Amino acid sequence: MFDRLEDILVRYNEIENELMNPNVVNDQNNYRKLRKEQAELTDIAEKYKEYKSVLSGIDDSLLMLEEESDEEIRELAKEELNSLKQRKEMIEEELKILLLPKDPNDEKNVIIEIRAGAGGDEAALFAAELYRMYAMYAERNRWKVDMMNLNENGLGGFKEVIFMVIGKGAYSRFKYESGVHRVQRVPVTESSGRIHTSTATVAIMPEADEVDVDVDPNDCKFDVFRASGNGGQCVNTTDSAVRLTHIPTGIVISCQDEKSQLKNKDKALKILRSRLYEMEMEKAKDAETQARRSQIGTGDRSEKIRTYNFPQGRVTDHRIKLTMHQIDEIMNGDLQELMDSLIAADQAAKLGNMQNEQGED
């Protein structure tokens, strides 16, 4: 690990020197490339510098204990030594996490698809609440929410909603939300006060660039139709809605949120690219070992991941066996603690697997 850290620090210092070279600054392509590499190495390099500083402090404290006869100064040196040793252990753990392989999709925007599952109208109402929860969380992070397609029922519920969250690092936070979300509560339509269980499925996909997925226009069939839904200047008046059929896979995507046919076509292509990209990621994931598949990672959309129990005011994430009695706050978009816990559990699983692999070597 420390050999690798030394290599990273050497490269980081090289980049800093190169960026001060006027010839490099004038070559914009090379300059941008170096700045990007520098940004990727900064956290690790700075943390490793801090680690080396702590090691130097430990050596100084040990030297003081050897050479100093004054008891009061020796006590101070012992306290400093204990403090530095604790800091050393903490930084070592932080460095291990920083050295974990980065998910190349983490910095991307994210496309989220929520669909009502078992439970009829109640499931659709819950799907709408999940959308609201995610939209409020995005707002807390100053990320933009862009509606891509919405299919409502008559009660304010969503049979299906597809939207994009635009912001740096959005995928890194949302990627653990994929799977089946279960709600237990008394539906508004229930007169006897009986608790019902309903579900909604959430699918999370990183936005795929054209570079990530090449879509052949000849593989796509586009149909246009009149948008339907509540209100809107162009609803039922113009053929602005678009249905895209991807012939090789049979994927069908409808988009009608925009008034412009061109914009709806563009959104449909974005969703298609992300779905095809996700299919490629799934193939790669299936090829990995069982140990790697056991990580928290991005949940399978058929897996029950979380229960929202309204009568008891609790939310339970079944993957990490975490229960939080803050259902109102969570439904209002306060997902920070929940997502932090999922990220920490995933990092711990990856660290454990990495250490196991090193032990086998």
Question: Is position 358 within any domain?
Answer: no
Among 264, 164, 269, 177, residue whose Cα is nearest residue 206: 164
Where is the domain boundary, 65, 98, 131? 98
Q: How many helices (H) and strands (E) does the chain have?
A: 10, 11
209 vs 271: which has the higher pLDDT: 271
Helix, coil or strand: residue 6: helix
**Same domain, residue pair 94 and 120:** no
Inter-CA distances, 357 with 99, 192, 231, Å: 15, 56, 58
21 is written with which tokens? 């070279």
Number of domains comprising the chain: 2
> pLDDT: is 99 or 287 the higher one?
99
Same domain, 193 and 279: yes
Taking alpha carbons only, the member of 314, 331, 329 closest to residue 129 is 331
pLDDT of residue 338: 95
Structure tokens at 260: 């412009």
How far from 298 is each of 65, 100, 281, 282, CA to CA, in Å? 51, 16, 10, 10
| 164 and 67 fall within a common domain | no
Question: What's the order of all strands across the beta sheet hosting 196-206?
Answer: 144-152, 158-166, 110-116, 196-206, 179-185, 304-309, 314-317, 322-324
Residue 303: which residues within 8 A CB-CB, separation 6 or more? 179, 180
| φ, ψ at 275 (rounded to 5°) | -70, -40
- Are 269 and 183 within one domain? yes
Nearest to 117 by CA among 187, 178, 198: 198
Give 226-251 pLDDT, tens digit per residue. 776 554 444 445 678 888 999 999 99
Q: How confident is the model at residue 127 (pLDDT cuts 50, 70, 90)?
A: very high
Q: Exposure of 304 by Cβ count < 10 A (0-12 exposed, 13-18 middle, 19+ buried)?
A: middle
CATH number assigned to the domain comprising residue 56? 1.20.58
d(CA 241, CA 219): 20
What token pair was written down for 342?
Answer: 């999922």
pLDDT at 286: 66
Domain membership of residue 152 (yes or no) is yes
Which two three-digit tokens encode residue 312? 């008891």
Q: Decide which of 214 and 50 is more confident.
A: 50
One domain, residues 211 and 332 = yes
Residues 93 and 115 in one domain: no
Q: Give the tens place of pLDDT for each residue, 249-281.
A: 999 998 887 788 888 888 999 999 899 988 888
Range of the domain at 24: 2-98
Q: Which residues of 236-253 are buried (b: 16+ CB within 10 A; e: fewer)?
A: eeeebbbbbbbeeeeeeb
Residue whose pair of structure tokens reads 């994009």 in the numeric block: 164
Query: Is residue 315 a part of any domain in this protein?
Result: yes
The type of residue at 210 is: E
Cβ proximity of 298 and 175 under 8 Å? yes
9 and 144 belong to one structural domain: no
At 359, the pLDDT band (50, 70, 90 cuts) reads low
CB 151 within 8 A of CB 159: yes
Token pair 């669909």 in the structure block, residue: 115
Q: Residue 295: what pLDDT?
A: 46
Q: Which of 98, 118, 138 is the last residue of a domain?
A: 98
CATH for 131: 3.30.70.1660
CA nearest 333: which of 134, 167, 66, 172?
A: 134
Query: Global pTM?
Result: 0.72
* The domain boundary residue, chosen from 76, 98, 120: 98
Give, as one character, the DSSP assignment of residue 295. S
Residue pLDDT, tens place only, 21-45: 888 888 888 888 888 888 888 888 9
Identify whether 357 is part of a domain. Answer: no
- Per-residue pLDDT band at 156 (split at 50, 70, 90): confident
Pair (81, 158) in one structural domain: no
Give per-residue pLDDT as tens, 53-65.
999 999 999 998 8
Together in a domain, 29 and 143: no
**Residue 29 pLDDT:** 84
Percent of the chain with pLDDT over 70: 89
Mean pLDDT of the chain: 85
Are 57 and 119 part of one and the same domain?
A: no
Does residue 103 sit within a domain? no
Reported as a pLDDT band with limits 50, 70 and 90, residue 285 is low
Q: Within a domain: residue 305?
A: yes
- Do the strands 179-185 and 304-309 form a parallel or antiparallel pair, or are they unpaired? parallel
